[in-house]
Structure 1
Amino acid sequence: MKVLQVINSLNSGGAEKLVTDLCIAYLKKGVDVELALLNGKKTAFMDRLTKISPELKIHDLGEGKSMYSPTHIFKLKRLLNQYDVVHVHLFPSFYWVGFASFLGNVRAKLFYTEHNTTNRRRNHPLLKHIDKIIYKRYTKIISISDAVHENLQEHLGKLRKLVYQINNGINLNEVSSAKPYQKSDLGFDQTTTLLLQVSSFTPQKDQKTLIESLLHLPETTHLILVGDGPLRAEHEKLAASLKLSDRVHFYGLRSDVPRLLKTVDIVVLSSNFEGLSLSCVEGLASGKPFMASDVPGLTEVVQGHGILFPKGDHESLAVNITKLTTDEVYYKDVVEKCMIRSKDFDIEDMVEGYLQCYTDAIKK
């Protein structure tokens, strides 16, 4: 079986991490896999991938062009008949591979993984119609969680039979075996309470609420924000305007996230909506209490295990943080429940699900 993974880039993000982990896992299982990127610039995920799997062939389709350039359609068309399976992630890769499939017979079975519960195209009359035309070009649409599955089926209507659910997963051992830093290694006193959020700075995320929660917490509570994106500067200005610059630490893109998870006291994901966030699963597996916004894509994963707080409610978030830091029994109970829940999202289960799906499609 020859497989091509297609994604916009390997910048920071859950889908990018998923593709990186999938390629590594496939190669370990002897699957002939290659990767195509609309933008092949060097990133932390790219470095990790080439370090662990230097034999992986990577097609950089960008050549300096925007990933929204329709010229990608013709580049992808030349690739589609070289593989048994072409597995696509994110927009606009989703459209470009779909359009490329109209340009003649396609040997490959096309798969698309839907990573979010919603997107702006679903509220645009023309794009909503185009969406359904493109979805028809795929053999299977993979949903990554209960919420994504339900929303996607509703969106697709009569095409719902194309949707198949395979929950996202992570390498649990990579997180559990990570060695924590000393807080002093990061420039903090041992008495500092450290909060951590790992996510891109985009409209989907809600670092604003987490930053504002510090206004209700002791000055010894600090926040580490890992990630990058178009809204990072806006959040840096917010921290400065609230006189919190000395307590909010912007770490950018990092390759040592498992170690950071093991170092901090509480892991948080403040968001407006999710699919099945890998940062969420890593938080559950970190051995630290995990807190998340009560929004689609997080609620069904975290409820009954970690702590949910109302979206955008920085005061409620602060109250929950205070309870964790002042009640040792409660803290340990939340950690235990989070660890149990994380075992439902092992990457091995996800990989086997994908490979079985590929095999079934090729046989048909």
Structure 2
Amino acid sequence: MRVLQIINSLGTGGAEKLLLDTIPLYRKAGIEMDILLFWNNNHQFVNALKELDICNVIVLQESENYKDIYSLSHILKLRKHLKNYDIAHVHLFPAQYFTVLANILIGGKCKLIFTEHNTTNRRIQKSYFQFIERFIYSHYEKLVCISDEISDIYKKYLPAFENKFTIINNGVNLETITKANPISRSDIQPSVKNSDKLLLQVSAFRPQKDQKTLIKAMGLLPDDVVLVLVGDGETRQECENLVAEMSLEKRVFFVGQRMDIPRLLKTADLILLSSNYEGLSLSSIEGMASGRAFVASDVPGLSEIVSGAGILFECSNPKDLANRIQELLENEELYNQTVANCQLRAQQYDIQLMIQKHIALYKSV
């Protein structure tokens, strides 16, 4: 059985990091698996996967322009590769559409599986997309939802395909997180002192995320509270501009994409995820497994995972977020209980459980 993972890129984000973490494990389990990317710009995740030398990494286009993922030429390029695999496991749009069209061109020889990673997208919000969506989804053998919430949403959205949906939670390599050692704070940012209270958010800079609320909350917190934002993307410049407008340059730091996330998590005092919506956030699971208190926005895709373990705050409300952070930093008993609850919750999302379920799904298809 040969499986091809297909995704727009391995630039930054949860689905992208998930493939970097899981492909070695699939290979170890005896699944012959490769990966195809529509676009690459010397990304760290791609380089890390190539260094492992365990699979073929197929890149359709190398360029500096992210919008190249939408090039229709990918459909013709993709069809040449699909015929070499039994199953294509697809992630995100436009890979979701282009793979179907490429497979039609080769007579549907490859079995297709698609994973829904988010609770919403721009297409699901527009009724005129439904005809196109029904056509695309009809060509997938199975539709994997990474949470119960996503499954409920898409079953209502596309009831004709209810029998195709299956739920497989994304997972995290918990051992990597729990065994990581902290690094020197000065290695993260030279001006961060050991006496500072260090907040950390790991997420791409996209409209889906809400780093701006977190930055605004920083203006309501004491001067010894500092924030490190890990990641990159299209909204980073807007966030940097906001930091400058609020004169927070000495307390809010942008460190770009990092490959030492487990060690960063262990170095922080609080892990946060301010977001407008999620699917099943790997960053939230990593944060809860880290041994640090975790705070997240009360939105679809986070509420389900975090409620009863970490601390939730009202989405887009910097004052509420600042209050939650202050309370955790001042109340040691609350902090320690939150850590214990988070670590217990994270155990439900071990990556090995996900791997086993996906392999069973591949065999059934």
Give me the TM-score of the superposition, normalised by structure 2: 0.96
Cα contact 1:221–1:247 (8 A) shared by 2? yes
Partner of residue 295, structure 1: 299
Q: Is the 8 A contact 1:168 1:350 kept in 2?
A: yes
What do residues 251-294 of structure 1 show as CA deviations (whole Å, max 9, x unaligned)?
11111111100000000000000000111111111110001000
Structure 1 position 154, deviation (Å): 1.3
Corresponding residue of 2:35: 35
What secondary structure sits across from 2:47 in the alignment? helix
The counterpart of 1:139, out of the listed 131, 138, 141, is: 141
Aligned match of 1:10? 10
Any idea what the Cα deviations from partners look like across 1:284-343, whole Å, max 9, x if unmatched? 111100010000000010000000000011111111111111111111100000000000
**2:44 corresponding residue in structure 1:** 44
Please name the residue that 2:71 is paired with.
69
Deviation at 1:30, TM superposition (A): 2.2
Per-residue deviation at 1:181? Answer: 1.1
Alignment of 1:321-340 (within 5 A): 321-340=325-344
Partner of 1:22: 22
Residue number in structure 2 paired with 1:56: 55
1:63 Cα deviation after fit: 5.4
Instruction: Provide the C-alpha distance between the structure 1 equivalents of 2:205 and 2:130, rounded to a whole number of angstroms.
Output: 26
Residues matched between the structures, number: 360
Contact 2:103 2:110 in 1 (8 A): no
Distance 1:178 1:128 in 2: 45
Structure 2 letter corresponding to 1:56: C
What does 1:82-97 align with in structure 2 at a 5 Å threshold? 82-97=84-99
Q: Distance in 2 between the 1:80 and 1:99 partners?
A: 11
> RMSD over aligned Cα, in angstroms?
1.3
Aligned residue number for residue 119 of structure 2: 117
Structure 1 window deviating more from structure 2 (87-96 vs 126-135): it is 126-135
Cα offset, 1:101, TM superposition: 2.2
Instruction: Output the amino acid matched with 1:102.
Output: I
In structure 1, how many angstroms separate the alpha carbons of the residues matched to 2:149 and 2:347? 19
SS of match in other structure, 1:222: strand
In structure 1, what is the Cα distance between the partners aligned to 2:30 and 2:150? 30
* Alignment partner of 1:262 is 2:260: no
The secondary structure found in structure 1 opposite 2:124 is: helix
**In 1, Cα distance between equivalents of 2:134 and 2:119:** 16
**Equivalent residue letter for 2:49:** L
Asked whether the 8 Å contact 1:80–1:106 carries over to 2, the reply is no
Q: CA deviation at 1:189?
A: 1.4
Measured against aligned partners, the alpha-carbon deviations of 1:148-201 in whole angstroms (never above 9, x if no partner) come to 111111111211221111001011011111110132443221110000001111
Distance in 2 (alpha carbons) for counterparts of 1:296 and 1:358 = 28
> Which residue matches 1:248?
252
TM-score under structure 1 length normalisation: 0.96
Question: Do 2:147 and 2:167's aligned partners in 1 also have CA atoms closer than 8 Å?
Answer: yes
Q: Partner amino acid for 1:11?
A: G
Partner of residue 284 from structure 2, selected from 265, 277, 280: 280
Cross-structure match for 1:179: 181
Residue in 1 aligned with 2:233?
A: 229
1:238, 1:318 → 2: CA distance? 17
1:354 corresponds, among 355, 358, 364, to 358
Task: Give, as a single letter, the amino acid of the residue that structure 1 aligns with 2:21.
Answer: D
SS at match of 1:40: coil
Match of 1:306 in 2: 310
Separation of aligned partners in 1, 2:179 and 2:219: 34
- CA contact 1:289–1:331 (8 Å) conserved in 2: yes
CA distance in 1, matches of 2:364, 2:55: 25
The residue that corresponds to 2:82 in the other structure is 80
Q: CA separation in 2, counterparts of 1:19 and 1:74?
A: 24
Within the candidate set 315, 322, 330, 1:318 is matched to 322
Q: Residues 88-143 of structure 1: CA distance to partner in whole angstroms, max 9, x if unpaired? A: 00100000011112224223221011110010011233323211110110000100
Residues of 1 paired with 2:128 and 2:79: CA distance? 24
Task: Report the 3-state secondary structure (helix = DSSP H, G, I; strand = E; otherwise coil) of the residue aligned with 1:121.
Answer: coil
Q: Which amino acid aligns with 1:37?
A: L
**123-132 vs 350-359, greater mean Cα deviation:** 123-132
- SS of the aligned residue for 2:323 comes to helix
> Residue deviations 1:33-62, cap 9 Å, x none?
1111101332111122122x2131111112
> What secondary structure, in the 3-state scheme, does the structure 1 residue paired with 2:312 have?
strand
